Structure 1
Amino acid sequence: MPSYVIIGASRGIGYQFLKTLSRDPSNIIIGTARNVGPIQAKVTADKLTNVHIIEADLDSPSSLHAAAGQTSKITGGAADYLIVNGAYLNDHLAAFKPYDFLGKEEYFMEQLDRSMHTNVAGVLFAINAFLPLVKKSIVKKVIVISSAMGDIDTILEAGVDVSVPYSMSKAAVNILVAKYAVSFKNEGISFLSLCPGMVLTQVESYEAMTPELIAQYDFLKQLFRNIAPDFKGPMLPEESVEKQLKVINNLSIENTGAYLSHKGTKEWV
Protein backbone atom coordinates (compact mmCIF):
# COMPACT_ATOMS: atom_id res chain seq x y z
CA MET A 1 0.00 0.00 0.00
CA PRO A 2 1.70 3.24 -1.13
CA SER A 3 2.04 5.92 1.53
CA TYR A 4 1.92 9.66 0.87
CA VAL A 5 2.73 12.47 3.30
CA ILE A 6 1.43 15.91 2.32
CA ILE A 7 2.97 18.69 4.40
CA GLY A 8 0.58 21.65 4.33
CA ALA A 9 -2.71 20.03 3.35
CA SER A 10 -5.33 22.37 4.78
CA ARG A 11 -6.51 23.93 1.51
CA GLY A 12 -5.80 24.51 -2.16
CA ILE A 13 -3.18 22.27 -3.74
CA GLY A 14 -2.42 20.44 -0.50
CA TYR A 15 -6.01 19.46 0.17
CA GLN A 16 -6.49 18.49 -3.46
CA PHE A 17 -3.60 16.04 -3.13
CA LEU A 18 -5.59 14.38 -0.32
CA LYS A 19 -8.76 14.22 -2.43
CA THR A 20 -7.08 12.95 -5.59
CA LEU A 21 -4.88 10.37 -3.88
CA SER A 22 -7.75 9.09 -1.73
CA ARG A 23 -9.56 7.84 -4.85
CA ASP A 24 -7.27 4.81 -4.73
CA PRO A 25 -8.34 2.88 -1.60
CA SER A 26 -4.96 1.16 -1.41
CA ASN A 27 -3.20 4.47 -0.69
CA ILE A 28 -2.37 5.55 2.85
CA ILE A 29 -2.41 9.34 2.96
CA ILE A 30 -1.15 11.60 5.73
CA GLY A 31 -1.97 15.30 5.63
CA THR A 32 -0.53 17.85 8.03
CA ALA A 33 -1.97 21.18 9.13
CA ARG A 34 -1.35 23.75 11.85
CA ASN A 35 -5.01 23.59 12.86
CA VAL A 36 -6.36 20.06 12.59
CA GLY A 37 -10.03 20.72 13.40
CA PRO A 38 -11.24 22.42 10.19
CA ILE A 39 -9.42 20.10 7.81
CA GLN A 40 -10.53 17.01 9.72
CA ALA A 41 -14.11 18.22 9.34
CA LYS A 42 -13.58 18.61 5.57
CA VAL A 43 -12.01 15.16 5.29
CA THR A 44 -14.94 13.63 7.16
CA ALA A 45 -17.50 15.51 5.05
CA ASP A 46 -15.75 14.46 1.83
CA LYS A 47 -15.56 10.84 3.07
CA LEU A 48 -11.82 10.53 2.54
CA THR A 49 -11.60 7.36 4.58
CA ASN A 50 -7.94 6.59 3.86
CA VAL A 51 -6.72 10.06 4.87
CA HIS A 52 -5.18 10.76 8.28
CA ILE A 53 -4.74 14.33 9.53
CA ILE A 54 -1.85 15.17 11.86
CA GLU A 55 -0.89 18.48 13.45
CA ALA A 56 2.38 20.02 12.23
CA ASP A 57 3.78 23.45 11.42
CA LEU A 58 6.61 24.17 8.98
CA ASP A 59 7.90 26.80 11.41
CA SER A 60 8.15 24.24 14.24
CA PRO A 61 10.77 21.47 13.93
CA SER A 62 9.48 19.77 17.07
CA SER A 63 5.95 19.52 15.63
CA LEU A 64 7.32 18.02 12.42
CA HIS A 65 9.32 15.41 14.30
CA ALA A 66 6.24 14.55 16.34
CA ALA A 67 4.22 14.26 13.12
CA ALA A 68 6.84 11.94 11.64
CA GLY A 69 6.54 9.74 14.71
CA GLN A 70 2.77 9.58 14.37
CA THR A 71 3.08 8.88 10.65
CA SER A 72 5.45 5.99 11.29
CA LYS A 73 2.84 4.31 13.49
CA ILE A 74 0.20 4.64 10.76
CA THR A 75 2.33 3.51 7.81
CA GLY A 76 4.41 0.84 9.50
CA GLY A 77 7.59 2.90 9.61
CA ALA A 78 8.02 4.14 6.04
CA ALA A 79 6.91 7.00 3.79
CA ASP A 80 6.99 6.36 0.06
CA TYR A 81 6.25 9.92 -1.09
CA LEU A 82 6.96 13.07 0.92
CA ILE A 83 5.33 16.14 -0.67
CA VAL A 84 6.19 19.44 1.02
CA ASN A 85 3.53 21.90 -0.07
CA GLY A 86 3.06 24.51 2.65
CA ALA A 87 4.38 28.02 2.05
CA TYR A 88 4.07 31.63 3.17
CA LEU A 89 2.84 34.16 0.60
CA ASN A 90 1.68 37.67 1.47
CA ASP A 91 -0.87 38.67 -1.18
CA HIS A 92 -0.49 42.32 -0.14
CA LEU A 93 3.03 42.24 -1.60
CA ALA A 94 1.89 40.90 -4.96
CA ALA A 95 2.46 44.25 -6.69
CA PHE A 96 5.57 45.34 -4.75
CA LYS A 97 8.72 45.78 -6.84
CA PRO A 98 12.21 45.95 -5.26
CA TYR A 99 12.34 49.75 -5.34
CA ASP A 100 8.92 49.98 -3.66
CA PHE A 101 10.61 48.95 -0.41
CA LEU A 102 12.54 52.22 -0.29
CA GLY A 103 11.71 53.66 3.10
CA LYS A 104 10.12 50.35 4.08
CA GLU A 105 13.33 48.46 4.83
CA GLU A 106 12.14 47.04 8.15
CA TYR A 107 8.96 45.75 6.49
CA PHE A 108 11.03 44.17 3.72
CA MET A 109 13.27 42.40 6.23
CA GLU A 110 10.25 41.22 8.20
CA GLN A 111 8.66 39.74 5.08
CA LEU A 112 11.93 38.29 3.79
CA ASP A 113 12.64 36.66 7.14
CA ARG A 114 9.17 35.16 7.29
CA SER A 115 9.31 33.94 3.68
CA MET A 116 12.74 32.36 4.10
CA HIS A 117 11.88 30.86 7.47
CA THR A 118 8.75 29.07 6.26
CA ASN A 119 9.53 28.47 2.59
CA VAL A 120 13.17 27.43 2.94
CA ALA A 121 14.07 26.59 6.54
CA GLY A 122 10.63 25.01 7.03
CA VAL A 123 11.19 22.75 4.04
CA LEU A 124 14.54 21.69 5.49
CA PHE A 125 12.89 21.00 8.86
CA ALA A 126 10.17 18.90 7.21
CA ILE A 127 12.52 16.86 5.02
CA ASN A 128 14.90 16.18 7.89
CA ALA A 129 12.04 15.06 10.13
CA PHE A 130 10.61 12.61 7.59
CA LEU A 131 13.83 11.38 5.93
CA PRO A 132 14.15 8.37 8.26
CA LEU A 133 10.74 7.20 7.01
CA VAL A 134 11.61 7.88 3.36
CA LYS A 135 14.82 5.88 3.73
CA LYS A 136 12.79 2.82 4.78
CA SER A 137 10.64 3.01 1.64
CA ILE A 138 11.21 1.25 -1.65
CA VAL A 139 9.92 4.28 -3.61
CA LYS A 140 11.98 7.00 -1.85
CA LYS A 141 10.62 10.22 -3.42
CA VAL A 142 10.70 13.73 -1.94
CA ILE A 143 8.87 16.51 -3.76
CA VAL A 144 8.95 20.20 -2.85
CA ILE A 145 6.26 22.41 -4.36
CA SER A 146 8.10 25.37 -5.81
CA SER A 147 7.14 28.16 -8.23
CA ALA A 148 8.10 29.67 -11.57
CA MET A 149 8.48 32.89 -9.59
CA GLY A 150 11.84 31.50 -8.50
CA ASP A 151 13.10 30.91 -12.04
CA ILE A 152 15.52 33.59 -13.30
CA ASP A 153 14.84 33.02 -17.01
CA THR A 154 11.09 33.30 -16.45
CA ILE A 155 11.49 36.49 -14.43
CA LEU A 156 13.54 38.07 -17.21
CA GLU A 157 11.50 36.83 -20.16
CA ALA A 158 8.06 37.48 -18.66
CA GLY A 159 9.08 40.71 -16.93
CA VAL A 160 8.04 39.63 -13.44
CA ASP A 161 9.48 42.18 -11.00
CA VAL A 162 6.91 41.70 -8.21
CA SER A 163 6.41 39.32 -5.24
CA VAL A 164 10.03 39.88 -4.27
CA PRO A 165 10.42 38.02 -0.92
CA TYR A 166 8.34 35.06 -2.10
CA SER A 167 10.31 34.76 -5.34
CA MET A 168 13.62 34.92 -3.48
CA SER A 169 12.49 32.14 -1.14
CA LYS A 170 11.43 29.90 -4.02
CA ALA A 171 14.76 30.38 -5.79
CA ALA A 172 16.48 29.45 -2.54
CA VAL A 173 14.41 26.33 -1.97
CA ASN A 174 15.32 25.06 -5.45
CA ILE A 175 18.97 25.24 -4.38
CA LEU A 176 18.11 23.39 -1.17
CA VAL A 177 16.43 20.58 -3.11
CA ALA A 178 19.49 20.26 -5.36
CA LYS A 179 21.72 19.98 -2.29
CA TYR A 180 19.56 17.18 -0.89
CA ALA A 181 19.66 15.42 -4.26
CA VAL A 182 23.45 15.38 -4.20
CA SER A 183 23.57 14.24 -0.58
CA PHE A 184 21.22 11.29 -0.99
CA LYS A 185 21.61 10.14 -4.59
CA ASN A 186 23.77 7.22 -3.53
CA GLU A 187 21.00 6.12 -1.16
CA GLY A 188 18.48 6.05 -4.00
CA ILE A 189 16.33 8.94 -2.79
CA SER A 190 14.91 11.07 -5.61
CA PHE A 191 14.26 14.78 -4.99
CA LEU A 192 12.26 17.19 -7.14
CA SER A 193 11.35 20.88 -7.12
CA LEU A 194 7.94 20.96 -8.77
CA CYS A 195 6.10 24.04 -10.01
CA PRO A 196 2.33 23.41 -9.97
CA GLY A 197 1.59 26.01 -12.64
CA MET A 198 -0.63 29.00 -11.93
CA VAL A 199 -3.36 27.62 -9.66
CA LEU A 200 -6.42 29.26 -8.13
CA THR A 201 -6.02 28.40 -4.44
CA GLN A 202 -7.69 31.25 -2.56
CA VAL A 203 -11.23 30.15 -3.47
CA GLU A 204 -12.73 26.88 -4.71
CA SER A 205 -14.20 28.03 -8.03
CA TYR A 206 -13.82 30.72 -10.67
CA GLU A 207 -17.29 31.99 -9.78
CA ALA A 208 -16.17 32.69 -6.22
CA MET A 209 -13.35 35.02 -7.26
CA THR A 210 -13.57 38.54 -5.86
CA PRO A 211 -12.90 41.59 -8.05
CA GLU A 212 -9.56 42.02 -6.25
CA LEU A 213 -8.59 38.42 -6.93
CA ILE A 214 -9.61 38.70 -10.57
CA ALA A 215 -7.46 41.81 -10.94
CA GLN A 216 -4.48 40.08 -9.31
CA TYR A 217 -4.65 37.07 -11.62
CA ASP A 218 -5.30 39.25 -14.69
CA PHE A 219 -2.10 41.15 -13.90
CA LEU A 220 -0.09 37.92 -13.65
CA LYS A 221 -1.80 36.49 -16.72
CA GLN A 222 -0.67 39.43 -18.83
CA LEU A 223 2.91 39.02 -17.61
CA PHE A 224 3.05 35.31 -18.38
CA ARG A 225 1.61 35.88 -21.82
CA ASN A 226 5.01 37.35 -22.62
CA ILE A 227 6.32 33.78 -22.62
CA ALA A 228 3.08 31.91 -23.40
CA PRO A 229 0.86 34.09 -25.64
CA ASP A 230 -2.09 31.67 -25.45
CA PHE A 231 -2.04 31.42 -21.65
CA LYS A 232 -5.63 31.62 -20.38
CA GLY A 233 -5.12 31.99 -16.64
CA PRO A 234 -5.07 29.86 -13.49
CA MET A 235 -6.06 26.21 -13.26
CA LEU A 236 -8.17 24.76 -10.50
CA PRO A 237 -6.25 22.57 -8.02
CA GLU A 238 -7.71 19.31 -9.36
CA GLU A 239 -6.22 19.81 -12.83
CA SER A 240 -2.86 20.88 -11.42
CA VAL A 241 -2.57 17.95 -9.02
CA GLU A 242 -3.42 15.40 -11.70
CA LYS A 243 -0.62 16.79 -13.86
CA GLN A 244 1.81 16.99 -10.95
CA LEU A 245 1.23 13.35 -10.05
CA LYS A 246 2.21 12.30 -13.56
CA VAL A 247 5.49 14.19 -13.16
CA ILE A 248 6.04 12.66 -9.72
CA ASN A 249 5.42 9.16 -11.06
CA ASN A 250 8.03 9.75 -13.78
CA LEU A 251 10.65 11.00 -11.32
CA SER A 252 13.67 8.72 -11.04
CA ILE A 253 17.12 8.81 -9.54
CA GLU A 254 18.46 9.77 -12.98
CA ASN A 255 16.82 13.22 -12.78
CA THR A 256 16.97 13.74 -9.03
CA GLY A 257 17.33 17.39 -8.06
CA ALA A 258 15.47 18.62 -11.14
CA TYR A 259 13.31 21.74 -11.17
CA LEU A 260 10.30 21.04 -13.38
CA SER A 261 6.82 22.30 -14.13
CA HIS A 262 3.51 20.45 -13.86
CA LYS A 263 4.15 19.51 -17.50
CA GLY A 264 7.42 17.76 -16.65
CA THR A 265 9.35 20.41 -18.57
CA LYS A 266 10.56 24.01 -18.16
CA GLU A 267 7.25 25.24 -19.58
CA TRP A 268 5.80 26.90 -16.50
CA VAL A 269 2.28 27.89 -17.60
Structure 2
Amino acid sequence: MNEHTTQRKVALVTGANKGIGRAIAEQLAALGMTVLVGARDPRRGEEAAAAVRAAGGDAHALALDVTAPATVREAARLVEERFGHLDVLVNNAGITGSGQVAPQDAVDQIPSSVDLDMVRAVFETNVFGVIAVINAMLPLLRRSPAARIVNVSSHAGSLTLTSDPDGPFAALLPSAAYTPSKATLNALTVQYANELRKDGILVNAAAPGFVNTESNNHTGHLTPAQGAAVVVRLATLGADGPTAGFFSEDGPLPW
Protein backbone atom coordinates (compact mmCIF):
# COMPACT_ATOMS: atom_id res chain seq x y z
CA MET A 1 0.00 0.00 0.00
CA ASN A 2 1.21 3.48 -0.70
CA GLU A 3 0.54 6.65 1.24
CA HIS A 4 -2.02 7.76 -1.32
CA THR A 5 -4.31 4.78 -0.67
CA THR A 6 -4.02 4.77 3.11
CA GLN A 7 -5.08 8.41 3.51
CA ARG A 8 -8.26 8.17 1.48
CA LYS A 9 -11.47 6.50 2.57
CA VAL A 10 -12.17 3.43 0.48
CA ALA A 11 -15.68 2.74 -0.85
CA LEU A 12 -17.00 -0.26 -2.75
CA VAL A 13 -20.13 0.13 -4.88
CA THR A 14 -21.61 -3.03 -6.40
CA GLY A 15 -23.25 -2.82 -9.80
CA ALA A 16 -21.42 0.44 -10.37
CA ASN A 17 -20.71 0.38 -14.10
CA LYS A 18 -23.97 2.13 -15.05
CA GLY A 19 -27.08 3.89 -13.79
CA ILE A 20 -27.48 4.77 -10.13
CA GLY A 21 -24.42 2.74 -9.11
CA ARG A 22 -22.17 4.66 -11.45
CA ALA A 23 -23.57 7.99 -10.19
CA ILE A 24 -22.92 6.88 -6.61
CA ALA A 25 -19.34 6.00 -7.53
CA GLU A 26 -18.86 9.36 -9.23
CA GLN A 27 -20.19 11.30 -6.24
CA LEU A 28 -18.18 9.38 -3.65
CA ALA A 29 -15.04 9.91 -5.75
CA ALA A 30 -15.84 13.63 -5.96
CA LEU A 31 -15.83 13.66 -2.14
CA GLY A 32 -12.26 12.38 -2.19
CA MET A 33 -12.80 8.68 -1.63
CA THR A 34 -11.05 5.88 -3.47
CA VAL A 35 -13.94 4.13 -5.18
CA LEU A 36 -13.97 0.49 -6.19
CA VAL A 37 -16.31 0.06 -9.13
CA GLY A 38 -17.87 -3.37 -8.68
CA ALA A 39 -19.11 -4.88 -11.94
CA ARG A 40 -19.89 -8.34 -13.28
CA ASP A 41 -18.32 -7.41 -16.62
CA PRO A 42 -14.67 -6.40 -16.00
CA ARG A 43 -14.52 -4.42 -19.26
CA ARG A 44 -17.54 -2.31 -18.38
CA GLY A 45 -16.22 -1.85 -14.87
CA GLU A 46 -12.90 -0.60 -16.21
CA GLU A 47 -14.65 1.79 -18.60
CA ALA A 48 -16.65 3.27 -15.73
CA ALA A 49 -13.59 3.53 -13.47
CA ALA A 50 -11.64 5.22 -16.25
CA ALA A 51 -14.42 7.78 -16.67
CA VAL A 52 -14.33 8.55 -12.94
CA ARG A 53 -10.55 8.96 -13.13
CA ALA A 54 -10.89 11.22 -16.16
CA ALA A 55 -13.13 13.47 -14.06
CA GLY A 56 -10.41 13.72 -11.41
CA GLY A 57 -11.50 10.91 -9.10
CA ASP A 58 -9.60 7.91 -7.76
CA ALA A 59 -11.35 4.78 -9.01
CA HIS A 60 -10.50 1.17 -9.72
CA ALA A 61 -12.55 -1.57 -11.36
CA LEU A 62 -13.31 -4.64 -9.25
CA ALA A 63 -14.71 -7.77 -10.90
CA LEU A 64 -17.64 -8.78 -8.72
CA ASP A 65 -20.71 -10.89 -9.44
CA VAL A 66 -22.74 -10.91 -6.23
CA THR A 67 -24.32 -14.24 -7.19
CA ALA A 68 -20.95 -15.98 -7.66
CA PRO A 69 -19.34 -16.75 -4.27
CA ALA A 70 -15.88 -17.25 -5.79
CA THR A 71 -15.82 -13.72 -7.26
CA VAL A 72 -17.11 -12.26 -3.98
CA ARG A 73 -14.31 -13.97 -2.06
CA GLU A 74 -11.72 -12.91 -4.63
CA ALA A 75 -12.94 -9.30 -4.50
CA ALA A 76 -12.57 -9.27 -0.72
CA ARG A 77 -9.07 -10.71 -1.05
CA LEU A 78 -8.07 -8.02 -3.54
CA VAL A 79 -9.43 -5.21 -1.34
CA GLU A 80 -7.55 -6.69 1.62
CA GLU A 81 -4.34 -6.98 -0.36
CA ARG A 82 -4.43 -3.51 -1.87
CA PHE A 83 -6.09 -1.36 0.80
CA GLY A 84 -6.25 -3.39 4.01
CA HIS A 85 -9.65 -1.99 4.99
CA LEU A 86 -12.99 -0.74 3.67
CA ASP A 87 -14.88 2.33 4.90
CA VAL A 88 -18.05 2.27 2.81
CA LEU A 89 -20.01 -0.58 1.23
CA VAL A 90 -22.91 0.29 -1.06
CA ASN A 91 -24.96 -2.74 -2.09
CA ASN A 92 -26.43 -1.36 -5.28
CA ALA A 93 -26.37 -4.39 -7.61
CA GLY A 94 -29.92 -5.49 -8.27
CA ILE A 95 -32.22 -6.87 -10.94
CA THR A 96 -35.93 -6.41 -11.62
CA GLY A 97 -36.34 -9.94 -12.97
CA SER A 98 -38.33 -8.60 -15.92
CA GLY A 99 -35.53 -7.03 -17.91
CA GLN A 100 -36.08 -3.52 -19.23
CA VAL A 101 -39.66 -3.20 -17.99
CA ALA A 102 -40.80 -0.59 -15.50
CA PRO A 103 -42.11 -2.18 -12.26
CA GLN A 104 -45.68 -1.06 -12.89
CA ASP A 105 -45.67 -2.85 -16.26
CA ALA A 106 -44.14 -6.18 -15.17
CA VAL A 107 -47.02 -8.56 -15.93
CA ASP A 108 -44.70 -11.56 -15.52
CA GLN A 109 -44.40 -10.83 -11.78
CA ILE A 110 -48.11 -11.12 -10.93
CA PRO A 111 -48.14 -13.51 -7.93
CA SER A 112 -50.73 -16.01 -9.19
CA SER A 113 -48.84 -16.71 -12.41
CA VAL A 114 -45.21 -15.91 -11.57
CA ASP A 115 -42.42 -18.27 -12.56
CA LEU A 116 -40.69 -19.41 -9.37
CA ASP A 117 -37.34 -19.54 -11.13
CA MET A 118 -37.62 -15.80 -11.76
CA VAL A 119 -38.40 -15.17 -8.09
CA ARG A 120 -35.35 -17.22 -7.10
CA ALA A 121 -33.12 -15.33 -9.53
CA VAL A 122 -34.29 -11.95 -8.20
CA PHE A 123 -33.73 -12.97 -4.59
CA GLU A 124 -30.34 -14.47 -5.52
CA THR A 125 -29.12 -11.01 -6.57
CA ASN A 126 -31.20 -8.61 -4.47
CA VAL A 127 -31.08 -10.48 -1.14
CA PHE A 128 -28.64 -13.40 -1.02
CA GLY A 129 -26.02 -11.45 -2.97
CA VAL A 130 -26.19 -8.66 -0.40
CA ILE A 131 -25.63 -11.11 2.45
CA ALA A 132 -22.68 -12.65 0.61
CA VAL A 133 -21.01 -9.31 -0.05
CA ILE A 134 -21.57 -7.87 3.44
CA ASN A 135 -20.22 -11.00 5.12
CA ALA A 136 -17.18 -11.14 2.85
CA MET A 137 -16.37 -7.46 3.39
CA LEU A 138 -17.21 -7.25 7.10
CA PRO A 139 -13.68 -8.04 8.36
CA LEU A 140 -12.41 -5.14 6.23
CA LEU A 141 -15.23 -2.81 7.35
CA ARG A 142 -14.42 -3.57 10.99
CA ARG A 143 -10.97 -2.05 10.43
CA SER A 144 -12.53 1.31 9.58
CA PRO A 145 -13.11 3.80 12.41
CA ALA A 146 -16.50 4.73 10.94
CA ALA A 147 -17.76 2.10 8.53
CA ARG A 148 -21.03 2.64 6.69
CA ILE A 149 -23.20 0.13 4.80
CA VAL A 150 -25.98 1.32 2.49
CA ASN A 151 -28.40 -1.10 0.85
CA VAL A 152 -30.12 0.32 -2.22
CA SER A 153 -33.79 -0.50 -1.82
CA SER A 154 -36.94 0.98 -3.35
CA HIS A 155 -40.17 2.70 -2.35
CA ALA A 156 -41.72 -0.55 -3.59
CA GLY A 157 -40.12 -2.28 -0.60
CA SER A 158 -42.39 -0.37 1.80
CA LEU A 159 -45.26 -2.56 3.00
CA THR A 160 -47.03 0.57 4.24
CA LEU A 161 -46.90 2.34 0.89
CA THR A 162 -47.67 -0.66 -1.30
CA SER A 163 -50.59 -1.90 0.85
CA ASP A 164 -52.48 1.41 0.71
CA PRO A 165 -55.27 1.02 -1.89
CA ASP A 166 -55.58 4.79 -2.12
CA GLY A 167 -51.85 5.58 -2.08
CA PRO A 168 -49.47 6.55 -4.86
CA PHE A 169 -48.42 2.94 -5.47
CA ALA A 170 -51.93 1.55 -5.92
CA ALA A 171 -51.47 1.64 -9.70
CA LEU A 172 -48.47 -0.72 -9.62
CA LEU A 173 -49.11 -4.27 -10.76
CA PRO A 174 -48.74 -6.79 -7.92
CA SER A 175 -45.24 -8.28 -7.83
CA ALA A 176 -44.08 -11.58 -6.38
CA ALA A 177 -40.39 -11.02 -7.18
CA TYR A 178 -38.91 -7.51 -7.24
CA THR A 179 -41.15 -5.86 -4.65
CA PRO A 180 -40.86 -8.66 -2.04
CA SER A 181 -37.10 -8.78 -2.62
CA LYS A 182 -36.80 -5.13 -1.63
CA ALA A 183 -39.06 -5.60 1.41
CA THR A 184 -36.79 -8.48 2.43
CA LEU A 185 -33.73 -6.30 1.86
CA ASN A 186 -35.24 -3.71 4.22
CA ALA A 187 -35.77 -6.38 6.89
CA LEU A 188 -32.21 -7.59 6.38
CA THR A 189 -30.91 -4.03 6.75
CA VAL A 190 -32.48 -3.78 10.21
CA GLN A 191 -31.00 -7.09 11.32
CA TYR A 192 -27.46 -6.16 10.22
CA ALA A 193 -27.87 -2.76 11.85
CA ASN A 194 -28.89 -4.40 15.11
CA GLU A 195 -25.89 -6.73 15.02
CA LEU A 196 -23.35 -4.06 14.10
CA ARG A 197 -24.69 -1.13 16.16
CA LYS A 198 -22.34 -1.90 19.04
CA ASP A 199 -19.39 -1.73 16.62
CA GLY A 200 -20.31 1.73 15.39
CA ILE A 201 -21.09 0.46 11.89
CA LEU A 202 -24.19 2.26 10.61
CA VAL A 203 -26.43 0.27 8.25
CA ASN A 204 -29.32 1.87 6.37
CA ALA A 205 -31.55 1.32 3.34
CA ALA A 206 -32.06 3.96 0.66
CA ALA A 207 -34.83 4.46 -1.88
CA PRO A 208 -33.43 6.47 -4.81
CA GLY A 209 -36.86 7.10 -6.36
CA PHE A 210 -38.02 6.51 -9.92
CA VAL A 211 -34.72 7.04 -11.71
CA ASN A 212 -34.20 7.00 -15.46
CA THR A 213 -32.20 3.76 -15.94
CA GLU A 214 -31.93 0.78 -18.26
CA SER A 215 -33.88 -1.36 -15.79
CA ASN A 216 -37.09 0.60 -16.40
CA ASN A 217 -36.38 1.28 -20.09
CA HIS A 218 -35.55 4.90 -19.24
CA THR A 219 -39.06 5.80 -18.08
CA GLY A 220 -37.95 7.28 -14.73
CA HIS A 221 -38.18 11.02 -14.13
CA LEU A 222 -35.11 11.44 -11.90
CA THR A 223 -31.51 11.46 -13.14
CA PRO A 224 -29.09 8.85 -11.78
CA ALA A 225 -27.27 11.69 -10.00
CA GLN A 226 -30.47 12.72 -8.24
CA GLY A 227 -31.18 9.12 -7.24
CA ALA A 228 -27.64 8.70 -5.92
CA ALA A 229 -27.86 11.68 -3.54
CA VAL A 230 -29.62 9.91 -0.65
CA VAL A 231 -27.26 6.93 -0.94
CA VAL A 232 -24.20 9.16 -0.75
CA ARG A 233 -25.65 11.00 2.24
CA LEU A 234 -26.14 7.72 4.11
CA ALA A 235 -22.65 6.54 3.08
CA THR A 236 -21.10 9.62 4.67
CA LEU A 237 -23.07 9.87 7.92
CA GLY A 238 -21.38 11.22 11.02
CA ALA A 239 -21.04 9.18 14.20
CA ASP A 240 -24.39 10.49 15.45
CA GLY A 241 -26.19 9.42 12.25
CA PRO A 242 -29.08 6.97 12.13
CA THR A 243 -28.85 3.23 11.74
CA ALA A 244 -31.56 0.64 10.92
CA GLY A 245 -33.40 3.30 8.89
CA PHE A 246 -35.09 3.52 5.49
CA PHE A 247 -34.73 6.85 3.71
CA SER A 248 -35.50 8.68 0.51
CA GLU A 249 -34.11 12.09 -0.39
CA ASP A 250 -37.17 13.59 1.34
CA GLY A 251 -36.47 11.86 4.66
CA PRO A 252 -37.50 8.67 6.50
CA LEU A 253 -39.85 6.25 4.75
CA PRO A 254 -42.40 3.93 6.40
CA TRP A 255 -41.53 0.26 6.48
Same fold (TM over 0.5): yes
Q: Equivalent residue for 1:190?
A: 202
Q: How does 1:19-30 map to 2 (within 5 A)?
A: 19-24=26-31, 26-30=32-36
Q: TM-score, normalised by structure 2?
A: 0.83
In 1: Cα distance, 2:111 partner to 2:137 partner: 37
Instruction: Give 1:253 deviation, angstroms.
Output: 6.2
Distance in 2 (CA, whole Å) between partners of 1:171 and 1:98 is 19
Q: Which ranges of structure 2 fall in alignment gaps of 5 or more residues?
A: 1-7
Residue 254 of structure 1 deviates from its aligned partner by 6.0
Compared with structure 1, are the counterparts of its residues 70 and 98 closer, same or farther at alpha carbon in structure 2 (3 Å cutoff)? closer
228, 247, 250: which is aligned to 1:260? 247
Residue number in structure 2 paired with 1:117: 124
1:144 aligned to which of 151, 155, 161: 151
The structure number with the bigger radius of gyration is 1
- Judged with a 3 Å threshold, the aligned counterparts in structure 2 of structure 1 residues 43 and 15 are, in CA distance, closer, same or farther, namely same
Residue in structure 2 matched with residue 240 of structure 1 by the alignment? 227
Is the 8 Å Cα contact of residues 109 and 177 (structure 2) preserved in structure 1? no
Matches of 2:119 and 2:13 in 1, distance apart? 25
What is the RMSD computed on CA atoms of the aligned residues? Answer: 2.6
TM-score (norm. length: structure 1): 0.79
Number of corresponding residues: 238
Structure 1: runs of 5+ lacking an equivalent: 204-211, 218-232
Match of 1:171 among 174, 179, 183: 183
Using the alignment, how far apart are the partners of 2:109 and 2:22 within structure 1?
Answer: 36
Give the secondary structure class of the aligned counterpart of 1:162: coil
Q: CA deviation at 1:265?
A: 2.2
What does the per-residue CA deviation read over 1:106-149, in whole Å, with 9 as the maximum and x for residues that have no partner?
x2x11111111111111000100100111000111111000111
Deviation of 1:181 after TM superposition, in Å, equals: 1.1
- Distance in 1 between the 2:76 and 2:190 partners? 23
> What pairs up with 1:88-107 in 2 under 5 angstroms?
88-89=95-96, 90-91=98-99, 92=101, 94=103, 95-96=105-106, 100=110, 102=112, 104-105=113-114, 107=115
1:249 is matched with 236
Classify the secondary structure of the residue corresponding to 2:38: strand
Distance 1:45 1:28, change over 3 A: closer
Structure 1 runs of 4+ with >4 Å offset = 96-102, 251-254
Q: Which residue in the other structure is 1:54 paired with?
A: 62
Q: Is the 8 A contact 1:72 1:133 kept in 2?
A: yes
Q: If each structure's helix is expressed as a fraction of its own residues, which one has the higher value?
A: 1
CA distance, structure 2, for counterparts of residue 116 and residue 62 of structure 1: 18
Give the secondary-structure state (helix, strand or coil) at the position aligned to 1:72. helix
Mapped contact 2:204–2:243 kept (Cα < 8 A): yes
Percent identity over paired residues: 23
